[in-house]
A and B are shown apart, each in its own frame.
Chain A
């Protein structure tokens, strides 16, 4: 995009000489990273579920892995949108589901339980990061319960409200700003003709 911008911009327009600090905070950047991670993982689960089921000893559960992939892509897209807090909390819920699934795979009959344990540990780590980012974003976007100041005295009318009502009423309205086909001085005439006119 930056390269495209360079060619699309008119030659005299200001060019960046040095960059200042961004409005994006640490939590926003982490959320963005987790959003892209969600998309990548989701795409892998959707396109190659057998690789996951084989590695984790969950053969036969491919449709479930695909469904998890769709979930990952969904939360990834939400995380990359302006509703990133919702997206990250969605990821936290998804992590809980992943952990439950992997915990169920860690049983003595599963020959791949070692892989399942590693995957479970990884998911726990990511879940902790998700929860941290979710809490950080929630705190950043929180509004205080009570308004911090009163705007009760901000009328905007130096002469006072009652003295200001209708002071611009007499201004001439340009014909193209007339929205009401019945201008006030025509109303009585219009209603009289309506009574006399044909009835539908």
Chain B
């Protein structure tokens, strides 16, 4: 089959690789109909997350049709079912899964020792996202083996197109969880850093959840325009002061809820000296993340407010003003998304026409064009916000 394979920093290729097969009774094989490039795939593209090895198949936003099931799937899936695959692999049986904390499932990470060394305790297995999270081959491919398939799937109806359903795999529930865990109240101002795909979903989630005011921060005109279309007031940080604008919009008190949809690769700019400091340290491997957004959020957030982190951080962040956070009594919420905890509700909202996540798609190409699209997406060229890949198109 064809698959997008990581060969090293900025080196992705559409290779021909061996087909996956059933390895465990709880496995299923799906024929991929649509998959997408995620912003967090760019962290792997840039080799900033440890644990990638040449030959790893990329991708964790995937949907398709079941073509084979293992004997242990127990009728929960059958050949021909149409499914979206959540990026978090979960068993459904462990203590964390029973609490709905699927992204920290205690069972599915097959490299538990490695993960425990890095994180202190292992987290769930993820598709196509380093050997720290199990080293599972990803879904930017023609076929995908889904381990723990009896639980790790979202069955979707036939009458809705792939484009409306695909993002149940990651960015929609990620934006949703980022907003839900803010515990948004009707009089809240929610500020969202980053208008990439997850940021766009967080904006829509905050609007649906009834925030009084949603403010979106970015520098790319096309993304700010899309954020505005979603109901956000926008701040272009390349031309205006984020702090001053947020003060203006909140009577000098700051937003109650701040959402980080940027993560470890915040934009580097001469006007923000800390970003240059972070980039230099990251380059010399003295720091893994560039936490400019985190610093800004902690500084500007209203006391007793909430900081919600949806953007991916890899490890060590420097000069994070924890003293400010402590004295202001901020609440921090963060984590990889417990995808299936939200997808029944979100699928219903898609079917009820409350939200149509396909608005974010700007490019749809063949899988073979994937390597080039990694460059276009990374360089933010051609108005690129979200790329959908069609294997076998």
Residues of A within 8 A of B (CB): 1-2, 4-6, 8-10, 12-25, 28, 77-78, 81-83, 140-144, 146-159, 161, 164-169, 171, 173-174, 176-180, 184
Contact = CB atoms under 8 A, between A and B. Distances in A.
Contacts, number: 209
Given A15-B55, A23-B45, 20 more contacts: A2-B54, A12-B23, A14-B19, A14-B141, A16-B15, A16-B16, A19-B7, A24-B11, A28-B10, A147-B222, A151-B222, A157-B204, A157-B355, A157-B356, A158-B354, A166-B208, A169-B186, A169-B209, A179-B182, A184-B185
A185 to B, nearest CB: 11
Interface in B338-364: 345, 349, 353-357, 359-360, 362
Contacts of A78: 283
Interface stretch (B149-157, B244-252, B366-374): B366-374
Closest 5 CB pairs between A and B?
A166-B210, A169-B210, A5-B53, A23-B371, A156-B359
B349 to A, nearest CB: 7
Contacts of B185: 180, 184
Contact of A177 (B16, B183, B221): B183
Interface of B: 1-3, 5, 7-21, 23, 45-46, 53-57, 99-100, 110, 131, 135, 137, 141, 145, 180-183, 185-186, 200, 204-205, 207-210, 220-223, 225-226, 228-231, 268, 279, 283-284, 306, 308, 331, 333, 345, 349, 353-357, 359-360, 362, 368, 371-372, 374-375, 379-383, 385
A174 B100 contact: yes
Contacts of B356: 156-158
Contacts of B54: 1-2, 5
Contacts of A144: 381
A30 B254 CA distance: 48
A168 B371 contact: no
Interface of B is mostly: mixed
B375 A23 contact: yes
Contact of B210 (A140, A143, A156, A168): A168
B333 A179 contact: yes
A168 B354 contact: yes
B15 A19 contact: yes
Contacts of A25: 375
B283 A179 contact: no
Nearest to B308: A179
A148 B12 contact: no
Nearest to A13: B137
Nearest to B228: A152
Contacts of B372: 23
Given A20-B16, A78-B283, A156-B200, A164 B207 contact: yes
A138 to B, nearest CB: 11
Nearest to B205: A168
Contacts of B221: 146-147
B17 A165 contact: no
B283 A154 contact: no
Nearest to B145: A12
Given A8-B131, A77-B283, A147 B225 contact: yes
12 contacts: A9-B55, A21-B14, A23-B11, A23-B375, A148-B382, A151-B225, A152-B229, A156-B229, A161-B231, A164-B208, A169-B186, A177-B181
A5 B53 CA distance: 5
Contact of A14 (B18, B359, B368): B18
Given A19-B15, A24-B11, A140 B379 contact: yes
A20 B14 contact: yes
Contacts of A161: 207, 230-231
Contact of B225 (A4, A17, A21, A150): A150
Nearest to B207: A165
Nearest to B368: A20
A82 B226 contact: no
A166 B187 CA distance: 11
A130 to B, nearest CB: 19
B20 A14 contact: yes
Contacts of A154: 226, 229-230, 359-360
Given A22-B7, A22-B12, A156 B360 contact: yes
Nearest to A24: B11
Given A168-B210, A169-B186, A159 B353 contact: yes
Q: Count chain A CB atoms within 10 A of each CB in B14, B183, B306 and give the residue with the most.
A: B183
Given A14-B3, A157-B356, A151 B229 contact: yes
B13 A23 contact: yes
Nearest to A169: B210
